[in-house]
Amino acid sequence: MASSNSVNMDPDVARRLFEEGATLVLLGVPQGTELGIDCKSWQVGPRFRGVKMIPPGLHFLHYCSVNSPSCGGEIGPKTGLFLTLKPREILLASWDRKEEDLDFSASEDEEELNRIRGTLQELDPFLGPYPYEVMRKWVSLTDHINEELATNLQPLTGRICAFSDVIPELQFRHTKDRAEQPRNDTTCQSMREGLDRLPKMKQREGTELRFSVIPKKTYPPGATPAEITKCSMDLSYALETVLEKKYENQPLNLLGELQFAFVCFLIGNVYEGFEHWKCLLALLCRSEEAMRRRKELYLGLITVLYHQLGEVPPDFFVDIVSQNNFLTSTLQDFFQFVTGPGMDGTLCKKAEKFKVHLTKKFRWDFDADLDDCAPVVVELPDSVTVD
């Protein structure tokens, strides 16, 4: 592997990782492939056979196939997968040239694994060491993600892809199916007409990330107009609905899902991860009643955000059209709620320190005038009428 800056590892740490670390044996990966683990990536060289001295625990392996220079050398979309590695574990994969992906089926062959284990000493010069200099950062970005959570959030295929694998909703197997679709042999009169002519697409089954579903209705069934307005300003009912459905016994796993979504976007280049991260964050930051009841969840949220926001430039969250900063407006609501009556003192203090930190680092203004008097527009159910 062609590596960039490396740091000198403490000899004791190096010896411990050499003895206890896991090994990824990755055979046949084409030269020039971009491959990485956690927060570091490289271009694969001709001698590459895998990665050694990997600290046990959760990791994210990611790679992009590359065309040969004679074919243009284009880089393909990134593919990634979460792995939980045990001490001294060996995982074996071979590059599938047809699928342009790693095939881990050999890891289920105990005889083959024993053969590889017996040749590790010969393989050692061809194995790149785990980039230990990124370990602290990686742990800070994933400390709420465990093996079960990662498995439950990953697609059923086990692969997280930067580009969605989509297929038409209608397969058009018969002439009759195609005849019923809008004609494409005449000029479109509008953008809308052009869009309507395109086939409706859906993600291929099994390739979808399995994030929590955030309810569109933020109020309970049968709510009065006053309750609907309250639940539209304080999203605690919607937050509790998400927690009860997936994380009733382990509410801090919601922070793990927030981290999972962020890693999918930051490292895996999955835009869907960013969108879900924004939705989850807005839900958490606008749930005033939940802040009073779930102190540990919100103390953890501040720590998670502290590390995540250290990885992005300050203007990253600015909408290029409206110039509004999603994050400052969301956190402005959070800081307003968390300093309100009935909040835990420890949580208030930690939130104030976080606010000062963000103001200094990003020069964000959280004390700008809030639109307290702006009306909140809510949709009433059909059964509710207002006199």
Parent domain of 103: 13-136
**Does 127 share its domain with 231?**
no
**Does 126 share its domain with 241?**
no
pLDDT, residue 350, reads 97
Bridge partners of 102? 95
> CATH number of the domain that 70 lies in?
2.60.34.20
**Does 232 share its domain with 363?**
yes
Determine contact, residues 235/280, Cβ cutoff 8 Å.
no
pLDDT, residue 1, reads 54
**Does 350 share its domain with 233?**
yes
pLDDT, residue 327, reads 86
pLDDT, residue 112, reads 93
pLDDT, residue 192, reads 77
pLDDT, residue 348, reads 97
* Integer CA distances (angstroms), 42 to 1, 45, 131, 201, 320, in order: 6, 9, 11, 34, 31
Whether residue 198 is contained in a domain is answered as: no
pLDDT, residue 338, reads 96
pLDDT, residue 216, reads 92
The closest alpha carbon to 76, from 86, 66, 61, 90, belongs to: 66
**Does 229 share its domain with 333?**
yes
The closest alpha carbon to 85, from 119, 109, 61, belongs to: 61
The closest alpha carbon to 161, from 214, 209, 222, belongs to: 209
**Does 123 share its domain with 244?**
no
Kindly tell me the burial class for residue 110, based on how many C-beta atoms sit within 10 Å of its own C-beta (0-12, 13-18, 19 or more). Answer: exposed
Domain boundary among 112, 136, 160: 136
* Integer CA distances (angstroms), 31 to 63, 166, 298, 386, in order: 12, 29, 46, 68
Domain boundary among 105, 136, 167: 136
The structural domain count of the chain equals 2
Bridge partners of 61? 37, 81
Q: What is the pLDDT along the chain (387 residues), one digit of tens a residue?
A: 544 344 567 788 878 888 899 999 999 999 999 999 999 999 999 999 999 999 999 999 999 988 776 666 688 899 999 999 999 999 999 999 999 999 999 999 999 999 999 999 999 999 999 999 999 999 999 999 999 999 999 999 999 998 876 567 776 666 666 555 656 666 777 777 776 777 776 767 778 999 999 999 999 999 999 999 999 999 999 999 999 999 999 999 999 999 999 999 999 999 999 999 999 999 999 999 999 999 999 999 999 999 999 998 767 776 655 456 788 889 999 999 999 999 999 999 999 999 999 999 888 888 876 554 344 444 545 555 444
Whether residue 161 is contained in a domain is answered as: no
Whether residue 200 is contained in a domain is answered as: no
**Does 231 share its domain with 129?**
no
**Does 355 share its domain with 257?**
yes
**Does 130 share its domain with 229?**
no
361 CB-near residues (< 8 Å, 6+ apart): 314
183 CB-near residues (< 8 Å, 6+ apart): 197
**Does 240 share its domain with 132?**
no
84 CB-near residues (< 8 Å, 6+ apart): 57, 58, 59, 147, 150
**Does 232 share its domain with 344?**
yes
The reported pTM is 0.85
Hey, how many other C-beta atoms are within 10 angstroms of the C-beta on 324? 10
Whether residue 210 is contained in a domain is answered as: no
Amino acid at 212: S
Whether residue 287 is contained in a domain is answered as: yes
Whether residue 261 is contained in a domain is answered as: yes
Whether residue 216 is contained in a domain is answered as: no
**Does 229 share its domain with 360?**
yes
Q: Which residue has the tokens 């980039």?
A: 131
Residue 373 has φ and ψ, to the nearest 5°, of: -95, -5
The closest alpha carbon to 17, from 159, 183, 131, belongs to: 131
Whether residue 160 is contained in a domain is answered as: no
The closest alpha carbon to 212, from 170, 256, 146, belongs to: 256
What is the rounded radius of gyration, in angstroms, for the C-alpha atoms of the chain? 25
Helix (H) / strand (E) element for 36: namely strand 34-37
Determine contact, residues 22/56, Cβ cutoff 8 Å.
yes
pLDDT, residue 15, reads 82
Tokens of 92: 């074996």
> CATH number of the domain that 320 lies in?
1.25.40.550
